[in-house]
Amino acid sequence: MSDPLQAQPPDVWDGASPFRKYIESTDDLMTVVDEQARFVYVNPVAERVFGLSAEECRGRSAFDFVHPDDQGETRAAFAGWLRAGGKGAFTFENRQVSQTGEVRYFAWTVTRQEASGSGPMLLTSCAHDITDLRRIQQELIRSECRLSALLGGMLDAVITIDSTGIIQSASDSVKGMFGYEVDELLGGNVDVLMPEPHRSNHDAYMRRYRETGETWILGRTREFEVLRKCGSAITCEISISRVDIPGEEEPLFCGSFRDVTARRVAEKALAASEQRFRAIFEQEYQLVVLLGPDGTVRDVNQAAALMAGASRKEIVGKPFWDSPPWSRSQAARAQLREWVEQAGRGEVVREEVDFKTGTEVKTIDFSLKPIQDEEGETILLIAEGREITYLKQAQRRETAMLRALASIGESAAVLAHEIKNPITAVNMALRAVAAQLGEEDQAVLKELVGSMERLQGMMKRTLSFARPLDLKPEVCEVSELFEGPCSMLTPELEAAGVDLDVVVAPDCPKVSVDRHLMEEVVTNLVKNSIEAQDSGGHIRLEAGSCDGGGLMIRIEDDGPGIPEGIRGTLFRPFLTTKAKGTGIGLALCKKIVEEHGGSIEAGASDSGGASFRITMPALD
């Protein structure tokens, strides 16, 4: 067999033949190789592909230029084709490496040329450069991978549909948001996510858009109810855009879904809270101003605006000290700025401030309270003001009255003391004279003696009430406080036919009191109950513990009771409903109880009679 490399080309290779001209001018690589894959002929494109001239390529193996990673696969495929007889065209793709190291992709088509006579077998090939195509394909694969990763990592659900509403793609987040797997949605109509009436009307919406191009949803964000797979509805913000793909007649539509259900619930709760706050803020009688840490007014309530004599717009956004009434005095402005600085450092400020409005001077109980964040930084100041003009006036009047009463009390005590001695002397003289008179005259004198004795008793109680109490406390059992009064009042109880029940609870606490004064209280209250009974009756004297561990004493009777209209004045001195009463007894009881740190109140018993309840602090 002759050497293929010495073979002469057939007539078609003649430089004048049209076929030769085509081969020489084409952009595809045209080669002829022998059975060992050695180049017998290459067209001029070989110089651009291999970086060698046609003469330099002649005799070189075609495998010399195959990329190392493609060598094994290319050789095996070529050998297998030859073993099969080399029938038909052999097509494959691989990468070629030039002498300069440039790598390009080629699609090869190889055919076998049967030998004529004793001529060698030749293989002709055509290689088309597909480098740009492979680059585009790789970019497309990378783009699809990036898109898939993007869709997979998105928190918002993203769905693309065609012009008929059929879902083409969906992000992985549709599972968490809508409850559907991606494969469940692909190929289905997007109206599966829509509640009525949008579900029934959606195809008509899409048809109208295809026919007219009119839309009210593209390029904007709207809020819709979206149905989940389980049938529940969520609120979503939906943004839909049109995507025109080169080479495609119909566009796609890409929709982004953001679940705002929780946000809408929170916004509604916040709005309701704001309404409640605003209602309280505006209806508050106190002046309330919200300030920034620097003293800038952020909000004021109606009461504050009225006092300032300005609208909210005129006050908000300005320094607090530049608003009335502070702005009317340089001293007041400077003082307020100092207080704001104190509050900004976390201190609570509370002062009484006088403002002159016209001819009046108003007194304001003013405070500044800082609100701090978790780091201890002051983020807000709350300024509050309560007008106490009338309260201060009342306090001044009360102080003056108390001083006057104290003066009267001292005078009354002196007067009572001065009167007591002559009354005692007159009383003794009347008794001495009565022994020398007849029975009729003695009766007149006895009545006069009785009147003098009542006057003497009244003077004694007045002195007791007027002078300060000198308490001599001692630890006592409650039962001990009851023994003396019960024993002393036994004759009066028997004479009036009144039963007295004494009940002391086992858990009754001990108390530290002035024993004689507390016995006087019990005696007075029980005696009042005896006097309230017309004939017979029942009195209950009980003691037990009360809330907080203190002592509770209750005296109740089944008499006519205390009219509700006088219960509020019952303990005032010199007020009485009894014909022969002085109005000192209950007032003195109240004074004794309160001096011990306790309290006394009057009410009605279960039977409609009177009820007096005393509470005393327990022994420490």
Residues in CB range of 587: below 8 A, 6 or more apart: 465, 571, 572, 573, 574
pTM over cut 0.75: no
Beta bridge partners of 468: none
Please tell me what DSSP assigns to residue 189.
B
d(C-alpha 557, C-alpha 608), whole Å: 8
pLDDT in tens, 89-100: 889 999 999 999
Percent of the chain with pLDDT over 70: 81
Tokens 């513990």 sit on residue: 545
Of the two residues 165 and 451, the one the predictor is more confident about is: 165
Q: Give the closest residue to 556 by CA, choosing from 492, 484, 490, 498.
A: 498
Residues in CB range of 435: below 8 A, 6 or more apart: none
What per-residue confidence (pLDDT) applies to 279?
76
d(C-alpha 284, C-alpha 287), whole Å: 7
Q: Is the pLDDT of residue 351 over 60?
A: yes
Q: Is the pLDDT of residue 1 over 50?
A: no
Give the residue-averaged pLDDT of 167-181. 90
Of the two residues 579 and 5, the one the predictor is more confident about is: 579
What per-residue confidence (pLDDT) applies to 597?
87
Please report, as a single letter, which amino acid is at residue 155. Answer: L
Is the distance from CB of 146 to CB of 243 less than 8 angstroms? Answer: no
What per-residue confidence (pLDDT) applies to 314?
87
Please report, as a single letter, which amino acid is at residue 420. Answer: K
Residues in CB range of 360: below 8 A, 6 or more apart: 389
Cβ atoms within 10 Å, residue 533: 19
Q: Is the pLDDT of residue 137 over 60?
A: yes
- In the chain the first and final C-alpha atoms are separated, in Å, by 132
- 431 φ, ψ (degrees, to nearest 5): -65, -40
Of the two residues 40 and 4, the one the predictor is more confident about is: 40
Q: Give the closest residue to 50 by CA, choosing from 106, 102, 126.
A: 102
**Cα separation values, 101 from 63, 65, 72, 75, Å:** 15, 10, 19, 21
pLDDT tier at 537 (50, 70, 90 boundaries)?
Answer: confident
Residues in CB range of 116: below 8 A, 6 or more apart: none
Is the distance from CB of 320 to CB of 306 less than 8 angstroms? Answer: no
HEC profile of 403-421 = HHHHHHHHHHHHHHHHHHH
Rounded to whole angstroms, the maximal C-alpha distance in the chain is 192
Q: Which domains does the chain have, with CATH numbers?
A: 4-129 (3.30.450.20), 139-264 (3.30.450.20), 284-387 (3.30.450.20), 393-466 (1.10.287), 474-616 (3.30.565.10)
HEC profile of 541-610 = EEEEECCCCCEEEEEEECCCCCCHHHHHHCCCCCCCCCCCCCCCHHHHHHHHHHHCCCEEEEEECCCCCE
Cβ atoms within 10 Å, residue 378: 17
Q: Give the closest residue to 469 by CA, choosing from 412, 413, 517.
A: 517
Is the distance from CB of 586 to CB of 614 less than 8 angstroms? Answer: no
Please report, as a single letter, which amino acid is at residue 363. Answer: T
Is the distance from CB of 276 to CB of 366 less than 8 angstroms? Answer: no
pLDDT tier at 5 (50, 70, 90 boundaries)?
Answer: very low
What per-residue confidence (pLDDT) applies to 253?
92
What per-residue confidence (pLDDT) applies to 72?
92
pLDDT tier at 390 (50, 70, 90 boundaries)?
Answer: confident
Which ranges of 8-53 does DSSP label H, i.e. alpha helix?
18-25, 45-50
What per-residue confidence (pLDDT) applies to 129?
92
Of the two residues 217 and 63, the one the predictor is more confident about is: 63
Tokens 């003066």 sit on residue: 407
Give the residue-averaged pLDDT of 151-158. 75
Which range is least confidently modeled, 18-27, 112-121, 131-140, 487-496? Answer: 112-121
Cβ atoms within 10 Å, residue 554: 18
Beta bridge partners of 544: 552
What per-residue confidence (pLDDT) applies to 12?
45
Is the distance from CB of 475 to CB of 511 less than 8 angstroms? Answer: yes
Give the residue-averaged pLDDT of 221-247. 90
Q: Strand, helix or coil at 297?
A: strand
Is the distance from CB of 158 to CB of 173 less than 8 angstroms? Answer: yes
d(C-alpha 80, C-alpha 61), whole Å: 18
d(C-alpha 327, C-alpha 339), whole Å: 15
E strand segments, 505-557: 511-513, 538-545, 551-557
Element (H, E) at 111: strand 103-113
| Assigned token pair, 468 | 């300060």
Q: Is the pLDDT of residue 506 over 70?
A: yes
pLDDT in tens, 408-465: 556 655 666 566 667 666 766 766 666 666 666 666 666 676 666 656 655 665 655 6
**Contacts by 190-193, CB closer than 8 A, 24 or more apart:** 190/159, 190/161, 190/165, 190/166, 190/255, 191/165, 192/227, 193/226, 193/227
d(C-alpha 171, C-alpha 160), whole Å: 9
Mean pLDDT, the chain, integer: 82
Q: Is the pLDDT of residue 54 over 90?
A: no
Which ranges of 154-253 does DSSP label H, i.e. alpha helix?
174-178, 182-185, 198-212
What per-residue confidence (pLDDT) applies to 65?
93
Q: Is the pLDDT of residue 69 over 90?
A: yes
Give the residue-averaged pLDDT of 170-193. 92
Q: Is the pLDDT of residue 228 over 90?
A: yes
Is the distance from CB of 588 to CB of 531 less than 8 angstroms? Answer: no
d(C-alpha 106, C-alpha 544), whole Å: 109
Q: Give the closest residue to 562 by CA, choosing from 574, 578, 584.
A: 578
pLDDT in tens, 363-376: 888 999 999 988 88
Is the distance from CB of 292 to CB of 381 less than 8 angstroms? Answer: yes
Q: Is the pLDDT of residue 168 over 60?
A: yes
Q: Is the pLDDT of residue 16 over 90?
A: no
Q: Give the closest residue to 106 by CA, choosing from 219, 30, 218, 13.
A: 30
**Cα separation values, 355 from 180, 352, 385, 392, 402, Å:** 70, 10, 12, 14, 28
Q: Is the pLDDT of residue 226 over 90?
A: yes
Please report, as a single letter, which amino acid is at residue 497. Answer: G
Please report, as a single letter, which amino acid is at residue 142. Answer: R
Please provide the size of the chain in residues: 620
pLDDT in tens, 78-88: 888 888 888 88
Please tell me what DSSP assigns to residue 437.
S
Percent of the chain with pLDDT over 90: 25
| Assigned token pair, 32 | 């002829």
